Amino acid sequence: MTTATLLVELGTEELPPKALKSLGLAFRDGIVTGLQERRLAFGAVQWFATPRRLAVLIKEVQLHAADQSVEVLGPPLDNARDAAGNWTPAATGFARKQGVEPDQLEEFDTPKGPRLGLRSTVTGASTSTSLNDIVQGSIQQLPIPKRMRWSASRVEFVRPVHWIVAMLGSDCDHGEILGLPTGNTTRGHRFHSAGEIRLERPEDYPDALAAAKVVAGFEQRREIIREQVEAQAHAIDARAVIDEDLLDEVTGLVEWPVALTGSFEARFLEVPAEALVSSMKEHQKYFHLVDSGGALKPNFITVANIESSDPAQVIAGNERVIRPRLSDAAFFFETDKKTRLEERVPKLESVVFQQKLGTLLEKTRRVMQVAAGLAGRMGSPAELAERAALLSKTDLLTEMVLEFADMQGIAGYYYALHDGENQDVAAALAQQYWPKFAGDRLPENPTACALGLADRLDTLVGIFGIGQPPTGSRDPFALRRASLAVLRIMVEKELDLDLRDCLELAAAQYPPGVIAPGATAQVFDYMVERFRAWYEEESIPAEVFKAVSARNLSQPLDIQRRVHAVHAFTALPEAPALAAANKRVANILDKLEASHEFGEVNANLLAEAQEKALSARMGALAAVAGGHLQQGEYTDALACLAGLKEPIDAFFDGVMVNADDEALRNNRLNLLRDLRELFLQVADISQLVVGK
């Protein structure tokens, strides 16, 4: 098999740094897919992405795919000729479609009988002649939300393209791509390199660029930046806080990274650290530093895209840039502290939450009532939750939050402390938004939990109540995230709250006529459905959740405990037989007339030894399982009931449920009803498919 190394590079103006990694990976995947679709084998794949290029280098690419024998089946043989022996329309039509005469068709034996068909050979693809299409196809599939044009060209791409490298071994003539002829010349660093770089071999690409001050590999450059930043921090006895998303973005900004340490006046440390970090991280793409105790240090690390002969000048320039931003943060902090949060509450009337649901002041009043009600149910001080709710949105009106949107809640915390508010109330202002994303931390104190739940429940009920639930593609109020946050708080903080009751409490705070009838039931179903994805991530089978949800429960913490209990039950050796038995019992009972009346099991009517044994065993285990159930020990309860396997098996082997004697028949149905009710105290295990 003849092979060659393939190199494709798109040379561009500076690409969007936040999207660079995804663009590089997508470009690689597109080229690989193009080769695979044409059955062209290949070896190791490398991808490269810098601010000025996307590239893929693939070793041992097969130059020609093997020819492929293809069989196309036509009509059944007995339908190919008529009684006179002439070709039928089915046969002639098939032959015409294949571009041959009917006499050229062959007979094929198939599992469905003999059929007419055609065997042909499809010539394998040529990498050289296919390369242009492969690259064009990959470009078209790139995740670019908005493409642009440049000069007089009608070509579109995310940024103007200035050169194209397409080398298959030494062959670099593969037509035009994005309006430019392919070649074997690339370019190095914008400032550290001059002129074009001619590549003799595709394999020379990484080293040729490195010599021209370009670290082409995204992952390699990313790790160089990490190492440099950590080394710079270590040099001043500090620890760099490296946010992975920021690291990706900085990697997308530079081709030849050089980390430098700068500083700012220590007086700025009087400003909330989060505001300083926001200034450095979001606006300047700096990494901030902390001491051994985690306190912010008056230093930062910037990553330059140039190896300056006078790095002190580069550092000084960055210090000059950050100083005004930190000064703004300090000014906003001092200005905001002059007005108490409580004094800002009336101004919430001027901010619309949602047109049909009123202003932020109206939302605040609703949340106050819900938070107080939830706190009472949780056994925590209602007055603290109500106070936290009153102040919860006031920091939206501060200069700090208007300038630094990510300070929402955090600013409120600092201002509440300055105002002398209760520590739990102040903490609740910051923690009301936790968790912000999957896996994020949860509110730490009951007041914060009550506030976080109340705010989200108000939004969920309100938005559903006006008929604007999330759709497959639209969720402007982040109701999916809000639902999961509510469930996580209730479950992981072990809050024994009834979700239906909480939703009704939230709905009751709206004026009559605002919330549509049935809205809370709709929200409840939507939220409980979020559990399904939750358990999928935990690799818990869907039927386990289905078995629990069949009980129509409404306490998330209780649902969680039951799901894990049923999941543990499925691992027991008795589980398959008990699930099948419950399914059999359910089928028997479901076939009864709706008017059928059940009663108590009459011990005197237990005629067979097997039914006597089952009844006795049920009585003994029901008492033990009941003790576990009272304590919410569902796993232990099901493990106890697993002891019913043998008497249940013996019952179905030796007892005729539908006995001719009506009294016997009804007594046995009562026994089965009691058996099913035993398990239903935890879940409907007849829904399980165990031991698949």
Q: What is the pLDDT of residues 90-99, one digit of tens each?
A: 889 998 998 8
**Amino acid symbol at 83:** A
Residues 96 and 146 in one domain: no
Length of the chain: 692
Tokens encoding 364:
């605040």
* Among 271-275, 281-285, 472-476, 614-618, the least confident range: 472-476
Q: Is residue 547 part of a domain?
A: no
Cα radius of gyration (the chain): 35
- Residues 333 and 398 sit within 8 Å (Cβ to Cβ): no
pTM attached to this predicted model: 0.80
Query: Average pLDDT of 154-179?
Result: 93
pLDDT at 29: 97
Whether the per-residue pLDDT at 692 is higher than 70: the answer is no
One-character DSSP codes across 35-84: HHHTT-----EEEEEETTEEEEEEEEEESBPPPEEEEEEEEEGGGSB-TT
Cα 301 from Cα 283, distance rounded (Å): 13
- Residues 675 and 625 sit within 8 Å (Cβ to Cβ): no
Query: Average pLDDT of 149-168?
Result: 89
Residues 325 and 370 in one domain: no
Residue with tokens 């600092």: 414
- Residues 183 and 163 sit within 8 Å (Cβ to Cβ): yes
pLDDT at 206: 97
Cα 424 from Cα 443, distance rounded (Å): 11
Cα 664 from Cα 660, distance rounded (Å): 8
Residues 390 and 492 in one domain: yes
User: Would you give the distance in Å from CA 57 to the centre of its chain?
Assistant: 31
Model confidence at 488, pLDDT cuts 50, 70, 90, reads: very high
User: Which of 179, 211, 243 is the last residue in one of the domains?
Assistant: 211
Q: Is residue 159 part of a domain?
A: yes
pLDDT at 691: 54
pLDDT at 185: 97
Q: What's the mean pLDDT when you consider all of the chain? A: 93
pLDDT at 152: 74
Residues 179 and 163 in one domain: yes
Query: Average pLDDT of 661-669?
Result: 90
CATH code where residue 593 lies: 1.10.730
Whether the per-residue pLDDT at 267 is higher than 90: the answer is yes
* Among 251-255, 443-447, 450-454, 471-475, the least confident range: 471-475
Q: What percent of the chain has pLDDT over 90?
A: 76
* Among 299-313, 552-566, 658-672, the least confident range: 658-672
Model confidence at 149, pLDDT cuts 50, 70, 90, reads: confident
294, HSE (Cβ side, Cα atoms, 13 Å): 1
Q: Report pLDDT digits (tens) over 173-227.
A: 999 999 999 999 999 999 999 889 999 999 999 999 999 999 999 999 999 999 9
Q: Is residue 537 part of a domain?
A: no
* Among 165-169, 486-490, 575-579, the least confident range: 575-579
Cα 547 from Cα 506, distance rounded (Å): 29
User: Which of 178, 194, 211 is the last residue in one of the domains?
Assistant: 211
CATH code where residue 190 lies: 3.30.70.260
Q: Is residue 531 part of a domain?
A: no
Q: How many domains does the chain have?
A: 5
Query: Average pLDDT of 429-445?
Result: 94
Residues 352 and 424 in one domain: yes
Range of the domain at 98: 80-118
pLDDT at 690: 61
Q: Is residue 530 part of a domain?
A: no
Query: Average pLDDT of 66-95?
Result: 87
One-character DSSP codes across 544-613: HHHHHHTT----HHHHHHHHHHHHHHTTSTTHHHHHHHHHHHHHHHHTS-TT-------GGG--SHHHHH
pLDDT at 275: 94
Q: Report pLDDT digits (tens) over 234-263.
A: 999 999 999 999 999 999 999 999 999 999
- For 552: left if phi > 0, alpha if psi spans -120 to 50, otherwise beta; the answer is left
449, HSE (Cβ side, Cα atoms, 13 Å): 23
Tokens encoding 22:
């995804």
Residues 160 and 30 in one domain: yes
Element holding 118 (H helix, E strand): strand 115-122
Residues 580 and 670 in one domain: yes
- Residues 582 and 679 sit within 8 Å (Cβ to Cβ): yes
Residues 347 and 464 in one domain: yes
CB atoms within 10 A of CB 472: 5
Whether the per-residue pLDDT at 676 is higher than 70: the answer is yes
Parallel, antiparallel or unpaired: strands 258-263 and 296-304: antiparallel
Model confidence at 282, pLDDT cuts 50, 70, 90, reads: confident
Model confidence at 84, pLDDT cuts 50, 70, 90, reads: confident
Q: Is residue 536 part of a domain?
A: no
Residues 656 and 511 in one domain: no
Residues 328 and 434 in one domain: no
Q: What percent of the chain has pLDDT over 70?
A: 99
User: Which of 336, 370, 390 is the last residue in one of the domains?
Assistant: 336
Residues 53 and 136 in one domain: yes
Residue with tokens 């710079």: 232
Residues 162 and 303 in one domain: no
Q: Is residue 71 part of a domain?
A: no
Q: Is residue 527 part of a domain?
A: no
Whether the per-residue pLDDT at 335 is higher than 90: the answer is yes
Q: Report pLDDT digits (tens) over 109-138.
A: 888 889 988 888 888 899 999 999 999 999
Axis-axis angle for helices 410-419, 423-431 (nearest 10)? 170
CATH code where residue 446 lies: 1.10.3210
Query: Average pLDDT of 379-397?
Result: 97
Q: Report pLDDT digits (tens) over 517-569.
A: 999 999 999 999 998 888 988 999 999 999 999 999 999 999 999 999 999 99
